[in-house]
Amino acid sequence: MSYIHIDRLWKHYGETPVLEHIHTDVERGAFVTLVGTSGCGKSTFLKMLLGVEQPTQGQILLEGEAIRAEPDADRGIVFQRYSVFPHLNVRDNILIALEFRASRLSARLFGTARQQALGQVDDMIDNVGLGHAATRYPHELSGGMQQRLAIAQALIAKPKILLLDEPFGALDPGIRKDMHTLVRALWRDEGLTIFMVTHDLKEAFSLGTRLWVFDKTRHDPQAPHRYGSTITYDLDLSDNTLNLDNKSLSLEISQTVLHQTIEPDPTDLHHAS
Amino acid sequence: MRLINRHPSRPLKLFLGLLPFVILLFVYIGASQQRLAENPNDKLLPGIDKMVSAMDRLAFEPSKRSGEYLFWQDTGSSLQRLGLGVTISALAGLIVGLINGAIPMVRAGVSPLVTAISLIPPMAILPILFIIFGLGEVSKVVLIVIGIAPFIMRDMQARTLEIPTEQIIKAQTLMANSWQILLRVLLPQILPRLLDSVRLSLGAAWLFLIAAEAIAATDGLGYRIFLVRRYLSMDVILPYVLWITFLAFVIDWLLRLISHRVFPWYHNQQNSGQPG
């Protein structure tokens, strides 16, 4: 039995199909990156994994069981922005995850229970490199630091899958690079299973162990919305020796599917889409 | 330099801000002296000295009839009614608005009712309040509550809905249930917005307070103004109006101060690009 089984998944918005027949398996510990043009359904797919959208047909199984039709602790999420709590400082933003779990009524921890939880929180803060900013509020953090906090928040809840929805799309290129290193390290050390939606093909290739390209396989020139997208490329990136081949393949994907051009300098890709 | 790019320095800003008040004061004194020169008993524009002596009498001499210091008694009664009315409205607005904003099932049932009630002109049902609650304190407080609570409820509902869904989804992935999300995510973020809403509705609260006092009361700032109107006592009315304005200013300033002290994160959100 595979870790995640996506079983003949279709998604329609009214009459308009968005996704057609997604049928695949994902192993535990995979780092799947999702790319495609705007409106190709990759974000819709992520929302279905998260539980805020429901498939029209088919289902998603996590460890053999259908995922719940609303967000829960099995699936952690980092959005591009707005996913930390602005009224709590860095420590409290992470502590609140433990408080939600431990105290169903007051959602607060006191005394020794709180001290123990804070120890755990401080370890996590150090893990994501926010040790110097533990008592700051989100508005006092840069965009990159806010995303570090959002990641820490998601990780302390120990989700079975971590979903990243264009998490670095709003960051400066230099900061993005640091974040790539961080995410890659956390993925390796904590044995995470990650799905990441991105616009940046280079990012998708360098971070993932598996890359999915969402695109339409059928086109009706008279009715462009007649058909939905599916996974047109499913590339195994886990073997690093494939990198050379990937270059020509990435060129093909970037030109035919994403209408982006891959530049040698990743900074130019920032606004490519 | 273009006019739109020229900014006043701090002292200049203060001077420009005070200037209209000083001009108004001098215009008043000038006009008052002119009228008094023609008729020393003129009541319409009394001199500053007359206002001071009238206030001195009301504030620092016990009333011959009741032995009370009328000015302070009026102030105390009015502030008590206003405070009660605004506090009850704020609490009701917070609870109803928050729950309406957070829980679609409740919103579907309650929100249209709140909207309908907010459209009733409160003054039109003042007679009903007097009939039901009598002429005592209750009807005045209820008028304020009916006047501003629906506004605060609607505002709080809108503010709750404004909180990014990303946060609500995030909380759910951290295992929070609906109650925990209300308590730890929505409520703390709504509180500073409640203070904003209360500040905005204070003007209306004063309006309803003075209207109620004018119609049926035995003391209060509004009562006094409408009482002495019969004797054309501008020397009492004008200082009372200034005093009410000053009180309104102080309350507004205090609420703003509290908001900045207690919710610093709310007033500094520009960096994170979040609403507010």
Specify the pLDDT at position A256. Answer: 62
Q: Tell me how many residue pairs between chain A and chain B have CB atoms under 8 A apart.
A: 101
pLDDT 10s digits, B56-93: 999 999 988 888 899 999 999 999 999 999 999 999 99
Considering only the beta carbons, identify the residue of A81, A106, A157 that sits closest to B173.
A157
Considering only the beta carbons, identify the residue of A71, A82, A107 that sits closest to B172.
A71
C-alpha to C-alpha distance for B83 and B68, rounded to whole angstroms: 22
How confident is the model over A62-81, as a mean pLDDT? Answer: 92
- The reply to whether B26 falls in a domain is no
CA torsion B228→B230→B234→B237, rounded to 10°? 40
How confident is the model over A192-214, as a mean pLDDT? Answer: 90
Mean of all residue pLDDT scores within chain B:
93
For residue A62, what are the β-bridge partners?
A4, A65
Percent of chain A exceeding pLDDT 90 equals 56
Identify residue B129 by its one-letter amino acid code.
Answer: L
Q: Please report residues of A whose CB lies closer than 8 A to that of B265.
A: 86-87, 137-139
With a cut of 90, say whether residue A15 has pLDDT above it.
no
- CA nearest B262 in A: which residue? A87
Nearest to A22 by CA among A41, A50, A39: A41
C-alpha to C-alpha distance for A250 and B139, rounded to whole angstroms: 75
- The reply to whether B121 falls in a domain is yes
CA torsion B25→B28→B34→B35, rounded to 10°? -150
pLDDT 10s digits, A261-272: 554 444 444 444
Q: CB distance B272–A139 less than 8 Å?
A: yes
Closest-CA distance, A119 to chain B, in angstroms, reads 18
Specify the pLDDT at position A259. Answer: 62
With a cut of 50, say whether residue B128 has pLDDT above it.
yes
Q: CB distance A81–B273 less than 8 Å?
A: yes
C-alpha to C-alpha distance for B119 and A93, rounded to whole angstroms: 40
**Predicted confidence band at A223 (pLDDT cuts at 50, 70, 90)?**
confident
**Predicted confidence band at B14 (pLDDT cuts at 50, 70, 90)?**
very high
How confident is the model over A235-250, as a mean pLDDT? Answer: 64
Percent of chain A exceeding pLDDT 70 equals 87
User: What ipTM does this complex have?
Assistant: 0.87
- The reply to whether B24 falls in a domain is no
Judge whether A107 and B184 are in contact, CB under 8 Å. yes
Question: Residue-wise over A110-143: b if at least 16 C-beta within 10 A, else e?
Answer: eeeebeebbeebbebbebbebeebbeebbbbbeb
Instruction: Count other C-beta atoms under 10 Å from residue A272's C-beta.
Output: 16
DSSP state string for chain A: --SEEEEEEEEEETTEEEEEEEEEEE-TT-EEEEEESTTSSHHHHHHHHHTSS--SEEEEEETTEEPPSS--TTEEEE-SSS-S-TTS-HHHHHHHHHHHHH-TTT----HHHHHHHHHHHHHHHHHTT-GGGTT--GGGS-HHHHHHHHHHHHHHT--SEEEEESTTTTS-HHHHHHHHHHHHHHHHHHT--EEEE-S-HHHHHHH-SEEEEEEES---TT-TTSS-EEEEEEEE--SGGGHHHHHHHHHHHHHHTS-----SSGGGGTT--
| CATH number (domain holding residue B72) | 1.10.3720.10
At which residue do the structure tokens 């952690």 appear?
A76
Specify the pLDDT at position A255. Answer: 63
Eight-state DSSP code of residue B66 = T
pTM summary value: 0.86
Closest-CA distance, A71 to chain B, in angstroms, reads 6
- The reply to whether B259 falls in a domain is yes
Name the least confident of A94-108, A170-184, A222-236, B187-201.
A222-236
Specify the pLDDT at position B275. Answer: 40
Domain of residue B149, residue span:
58-160+187-264
Instruction: Count other C-beta atoms under 10 Å from residue B158's C-beta.
Output: 14
Eight-state DSSP code of residue B46 = -
Structural domains of chain A, ranges and CATH numbers in brackets: 29-53+69-74+159-273 (3.40.50.300), 82-158 (no CATH)
Number of domain units in chain B: 1
With a cut of 60, say whether residue A242 has pLDDT above it.
no
Q: CB distance A81–B172 less than 8 Å?
A: no
Specify the pLDDT at position A269. Answer: 42
Length of chain A: 273
Nearest to A161 by CA among A49, A24, A52: A49
How confident is the model over A22-37, as a mean pLDDT? Answer: 91
How confident is the model over A97-119, as a mean pLDDT? Answer: 93
Specify the pLDDT at position B264. Answer: 92
What are the angstrom distances between the C-alpha of B8 and each of B15, B20, B109, B251? 10, 16, 52, 28
Specify the pLDDT at position A14. Answer: 86
Closest-CA distance, A246 to chain B, in angstroms, reads 35
Mean of all residue pLDDT scores within chain A:
86
- The reply to whether B89 falls in a domain is yes
Length of chain B: 276
What are the angstrom distances between the C-alpha of A175 and each of A118, A182, A196, A209, B231? 28, 11, 17, 22, 75
Q: Please report residues of B whose CB lies closer than 8 A to that of A82.
A: 164, 166-167, 274
Eight-state DSSP code of residue B65 = T
How confident is the model over A157-181, as a mean pLDDT? Answer: 91
- The reply to whether B38 falls in a domain is no
With a cut of 60, say whether residue B274 has pLDDT above it.
no
- Going by their DSSP bridges, the two strands A65-66 and A4-13 should be labelled as unpaired
With a cut of 80, say whether residue B272 has pLDDT above it.
no
pLDDT 10s digits, B24-38: 999 999 999 999 999
Specify the pLDDT at position A240. Answer: 59
